């Protein structure tokens, strides 16, 4: 816990030291008081950001801006409009297209603060004909600004923040006239304008920050070698990834966002990156969705969820502001790619935290039921223990607290991070990522952070979750090393789960190659007879190739080469452990080569499966408070014939094992040498047999 806290605190330092991602100077530690900050970037007059959704307060002449339709939300038909602020912007094309001309005059407003006025500007191919004119009280032009960021080869319908210096008129009243005299129709002969701000610090330029992040990633991904990179797991092409966020099926495809650092392969600059997929295996990179650019999220856009609201993609995320205070904020995308943060943010403030500490109130997971949106939020009480809270909203903008979903002192000084819920007929399964749960049993809560499921029912009226197995009965989903912070998406009545296939407080051997972090193989969930099962996503089977059926093989106090090899494959078998005597152990070796092996075996005395990566290749150092470095245990019941069913998925540097039809999984990352790819059967002190074994290459 102490370790994590330190990493949160160091975020502001990371931000200020990262040139490309730099926020405004006002965000560097200690440089400004919160009061000063509140006064910067102020709205100079009501509706200067067009958030009324009308032209109220503005005076129009000519055709260009004469209709209310000129104030609009970016729509699906105008896919390219990017980086508006809030929900509305001024669109000089919307009413009569490129050829229309006209002007729009603001009311007079006072020049205050540093005298700088900023605004978002896009389009405007010819700055001599389409520009913003700034007027003094007599109507004389003080200065004029066209879109000097217009280059025909660049997507100019992106809105970037521009600034004019009106400090020579400090304390006086000025107005702005938006002028479009351009009758051309050759493209971009119109202006796109939004969000005037007085006493500007230029800190709100979402467009530049997002484009910088994407451009940097494009450049840097060329430098990332193939070493240890997966073939069918989602991972960043460059930089850092942790929690999956906003996992959602939008009716056509899945969206999966994730916590990402655009500028380094370590945690920091917490932004949301975005990928889409039809089959949950092949992912299309959609670039960065949100990044810290507002006072309320200057210390990070932490985890959250997504929902379709009237056909529009909306995100609810944890905005981490000054002092690492955590609130929940909303962002909207009209084109499914470019997001704007709501002018109502934060939409769930700390006053609604139901007793959670302001610095431990995060990770909203959203879902919709019967026309109402709900958000589960993780929290921590001031003393021992964590809690999960439920909020509801009719429109995704105004949120109300429903109640405390669950609380438990099991987490000690930690909290429940990343709560999610999956619904099955009359049951609900709550997924939690508790920090710091401890247990004396060998196979229980071996990681500093784990993922647990509770099976029961969720009362949406009171917010309360009733656990069918008793208040603190938590089922650990994965007994391996690298599995945290789940997300659930529902499609056609099926629930899919993904998790961050990595972990806190461990070394990241791939950081040196410019990337870190990946998402597990998506898993389909099944609730049967009160038990939860995880199955590999079915689309993976479509990529199985070169099936090899292995003959029944026995290893008696020896290692037997099974004659199959590879590092991107699936392997399925029954392990007959009935002939393992006392003190014996036996099972499989993967990624085997000179001096290297990754073991998954049954220990007869313990009655447990053991995942041992101590000799897998590059060693992973884990947190000193993890129970034992490099080895994990899971109690398992062989069937009546003494067999354990195992299904493995290997992907270059990962191994995921589904045990007994998905009763639980064991997931871990390994870093073997490139030639270590043999599969072997071994037994120590007895014999073990492999039945019905099959191996497939995975072609993706």
| Chain residues in the site for ligand FRU (CB under 6 A) | 242-243, 259, 270, 302-303, 318, 362-363, 417-418, 484-485
Q: Which run of H or E residues covers position 497?
A: strand 494-500
C-alpha distances in Å from residue 73, one per residue of 87, 105, 396: 6, 21, 16
For the bound state, the minimum distance from the C-beta of residue 500 to ligand FRU, rounded and expressed in Å, comes to 7
Cβ-based nearer residue to ligand FRU, 242 or 333: 242
Name 219's Cβ contacts closer than 8 Å, sequence gap at least 6.
none
For the bound state, the minimum distance from the C-beta of residue 557 to ligand FRU, rounded and expressed in Å, comes to 43
CA 683 to CA 604: how far, in whole Å?
11
For the bound state, the minimum distance from the C-beta of residue 291 to ligand FRU, rounded and expressed in Å, comes to 13
Cβ-based nearer residue to ligand FRU, 302 or 533: 302
For the bound state, the minimum distance from the C-beta of residue 389 to ligand FRU, rounded and expressed in Å, comes to 14
For the bound state, the minimum distance from the C-beta of residue 631 to ligand FRU, rounded and expressed in Å, comes to 23
Cβ-based nearer residue to ligand FRU, 279 or 322: 322
For the bound state, the minimum distance from the C-beta of residue 392 to ligand FRU, rounded and expressed in Å, comes to 21
Cβ-based nearer residue to ligand FRU, 162 or 242: 242
Residue number, nearest CB to ligand FRU: 302
Name 457's Cβ contacts closer than 8 Å, sequence gap at least 6.
426, 427, 428, 465, 466, 468
**322: exposed, middle or buried (Cβ count in 10 Å: 0-12, 13-18, 19+):** middle
For the bound state, the minimum distance from the C-beta of residue 349 to ligand FRU, rounded and expressed in Å, comes to 17
E-strand stretches of 507-567: 515-516, 523-528, 531-536, 544-549, 553-556, 559-565
Cβ-based nearer residue to ligand FRU, 104 or 448: 448
Token representation of residue 223:
């430098």
Cβ-based nearer residue to ligand FRU, 302 or 590: 302
Number of continuous H segments (helices) and E segments (strands) in the chain? 4, 46
For the bound state, the minimum distance from the C-beta of residue 1 to ligand FRU, rounded and expressed in Å, comes to 11
Cβ-based nearer residue to ligand FRU, 199 or 303: 303
Token representation of residue 675:
């030639």
For the bound state, the minimum distance from the C-beta of residue 306 to ligand FRU, rounded and expressed in Å, comes to 15
Token representation of residue 48:
């200067």
CA 202 to CA 187: how far, in whole Å?
28
C-alpha distances in Å from residue 551, one per residue of 554, 563, 587, 684: 10, 11, 16, 21
Q: What 3-state class would DSSP assign to 619?
A: coil
For the bound state, the minimum distance from the C-beta of residue 485 to ligand FRU, rounded and expressed in Å, comes to 4
Cβ-based nearer residue to ligand FRU, 361 or 658: 361
For the bound state, the minimum distance from the C-beta of residue 482 to ligand FRU, rounded and expressed in Å, comes to 12
Half-sphere exposure of 335 (CA within 13 A, CB side): 18
Cβ-based nearer residue to ligand FRU, 411 or 598: 411
| DSSP assignment string, 46-91 | TTTT-TTSS-TT-EEEESTT-SGGGEE---GGGTT-B---SS-EEE
**182 contacts 131 by C-beta, under 8 angstroms:** no
CA 300 to CA 422: how far, in whole Å?
27
First to last CA, the chain: 39
Token representation of residue 490:
């529902």
C-alpha distances in Å from residue 623, one per residue of 3, 446, 503, 505, 507: 9, 11, 10, 5, 9
For the bound state, the minimum distance from the C-beta of residue 192 to ligand FRU, rounded and expressed in Å, comes to 33
- CB-CB neighbours of 691 under 10 Å: 16
For the bound state, the minimum distance from the C-beta of residue 326 to ligand FRU, rounded and expressed in Å, comes to 8
Cβ-based nearer residue to ligand FRU, 481 or 484: 484
For the bound state, the minimum distance from the C-beta of residue 302 to ligand FRU, rounded and expressed in Å, comes to 3
CA 254 to CA 269: how far, in whole Å?
25
What distance lies between CA 304 and its chain's CA centroid? Answer: 7
For the bound state, the minimum distance from the C-beta of residue 352 to ligand FRU, rounded and expressed in Å, comes to 18
Cβ-based nearer residue to ligand FRU, 483 or 571: 483
Cβ-based nearer residue to ligand FRU, 419 or 536: 419
Cβ-based nearer residue to ligand FRU, 520 or 687: 520
Buried/exposed 627-651: b ≥16 CB within 10 Å, e otherwise: beebebbbebebeeebbbbbbbbbb
- CB-CB neighbours of 677 under 10 Å: 20
Q: How many residues does the chain have?
A: 700
CA 122 to CA 106: how far, in whole Å?
18
For the bound state, the minimum distance from the C-beta of residue 7 to ligand FRU, rounded and expressed in Å, comes to 9
Token representation of residue 489:
């998406």
Q: What 3-state class would DSSP assign to 145?
A: strand
Cβ-based nearer residue to ligand FRU, 259 or 450: 259
Half-sphere exposure of 510 (CA within 13 A, CB side): 28
E-strand stretches of 537-653: 544-549, 553-556, 559-565, 568-576, 585-593, 596-603, 608-612, 631-635, 643-651
Cβ-based nearer residue to ligand FRU, 7 or 227: 7
Residue with tokens 């429109």: 395
Cβ-based nearer residue to ligand FRU, 326 or 687: 326
For the bound state, the minimum distance from the C-beta of residue 81 to ligand FRU, rounded and expressed in Å, comes to 29
Cβ-based nearer residue to ligand FRU, 428 or 485: 485
């Amino acid at each position: 816990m102490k370790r994590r806290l330190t990493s949160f605190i160091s975020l502001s330092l990371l931000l200020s030291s990262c040139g490309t991602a730099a926020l405004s100077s006002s965000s560097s530690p200690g440089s400004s008081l919160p009061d000063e900050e509140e006064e910067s970037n102020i709205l100079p007059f009501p509706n200067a950001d067009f958030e009324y959704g009308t032209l109220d307060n503005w005076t129009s002449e000519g055709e260009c801006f004469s209709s209310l339709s000129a104030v609009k939300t970016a729509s699906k038909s105008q896919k390219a409009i990017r980086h508006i602020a809030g929900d509305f912007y001024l669109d000089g094309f919307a009413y009569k297209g490129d050829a229309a001309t006209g002007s729009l005059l603001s009311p007079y407003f006072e020049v205050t603060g540093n005298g700088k006025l900023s605004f978002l500007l896009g389009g405007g191919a010819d700055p001599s004909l389409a520009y913003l004119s700034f007027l003094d009280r007599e109507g004389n032009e003080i200065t004029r600004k066209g879109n000097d960021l217009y280059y025909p080869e660049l997507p100019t319908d992106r809105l970037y923040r521009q600034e004019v210096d009106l400090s020579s008129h400090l304390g006086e009243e000025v107005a702005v006239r938006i002028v479009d005299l351009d009758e051309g129709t050759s493209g971009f002969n119109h202006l796109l304008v939004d969000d005037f701000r007085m006493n500007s610090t230029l800190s709100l330029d979402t467009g530049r920050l997002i484009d910088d992040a994407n451009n940097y990633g494009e450049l840097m991904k060329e430098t990332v070698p193939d070493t240890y990179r997966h073939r069918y797991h989602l991972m960043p092409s460059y930089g850092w990834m942790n929690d999956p966020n906003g996992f959602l099926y939008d009716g056509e495809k899945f969206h999966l966002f994730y916590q990402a650092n655009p500028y380094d392969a370590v945690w920091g600059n917490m932004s949301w990156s975005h990928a889409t997929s039809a089959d949950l295996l092949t992912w299309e990179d959609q670039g960065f969705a949100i990044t810290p650019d507002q006072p309320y999220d200057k210390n990070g856009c932490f985890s959250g969820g997504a929902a379709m609201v009237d056909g529009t993609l909306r995100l609810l995320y944890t905005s981490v502001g000054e002092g690492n205070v955590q609130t929940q904020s909303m962002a909207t995308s009209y084109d499914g790619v470019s997001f704007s943060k709501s002018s109502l943010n934060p939409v769930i403030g700390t006053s609604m935290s139901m007793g959670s500490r302001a610095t431990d109130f995060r990770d909203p997971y959203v879902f919709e039921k019967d026309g109402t949106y709900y958000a589960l939020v993780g929290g921590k009480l001031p003393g021992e223990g964590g809690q999960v809270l439920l909020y509801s909203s009719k429109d995704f903008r105004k949120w109300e607290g429903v109640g405390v979903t669950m609380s438990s002192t099991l987490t000690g000084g930690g909290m429940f991070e990343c709560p999610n819920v999956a619904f099955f007929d009359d049951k609900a399964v709550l997924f939690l990522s508790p920090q710091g749960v401890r247990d004396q049993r060998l196979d229980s809560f071996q990681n500093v952070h784990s993922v647990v499921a509770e099976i029961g029912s969720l009362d949406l009226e009171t917010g309360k979750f009733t656990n069918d197995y008793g208040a603190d009965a938590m089922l650990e989903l994965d007994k391996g090393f690298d599995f945290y912070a789940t997300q659930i998406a529902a499609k056609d009545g099926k629930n899919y789960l993904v998790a961050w296939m990595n972990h806190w407080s461990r070394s990241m051997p791939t950081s040196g190659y410019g990337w870190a972090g990946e998402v597990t193989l998506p898993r389909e969930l099944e609730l049967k007879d009160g038990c939860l099962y995880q199955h590999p996503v079915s689309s993976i089977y479509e990529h199985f190739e070169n099936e090899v059926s292995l003959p029944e093989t026995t290893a008696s106090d020896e290692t037997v080469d099974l004659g199959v090899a590879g590092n991107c494959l699936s392997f399925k078998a029954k392990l007959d452990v009935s002939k393992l005597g006392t003190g014996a152990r036996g099972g499989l070796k993967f990624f085997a080569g000179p001096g290297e092996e990754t073991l998954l075996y049954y220990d007869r005395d313990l009655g447990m499966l053991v995942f041992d990566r101590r000799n897998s290749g590059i060693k992973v150092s884990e947190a000193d408070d993890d129970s034992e470095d490099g080895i994990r245990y899971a109690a398992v019941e062989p069937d009546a014939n003494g067999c354990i069913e195992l299904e493995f998925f290997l992907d270059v540097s990962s191994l995921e094992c589904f045990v007994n039809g998905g009763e639980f999984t064991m997931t871990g990352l390994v870093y073997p040498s490139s030639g270590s790819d043999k599969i072997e059967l071994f037994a120590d002190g007895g014999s073990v047999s492999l039945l019905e074994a099959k191996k497939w290459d995975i072609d993706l």
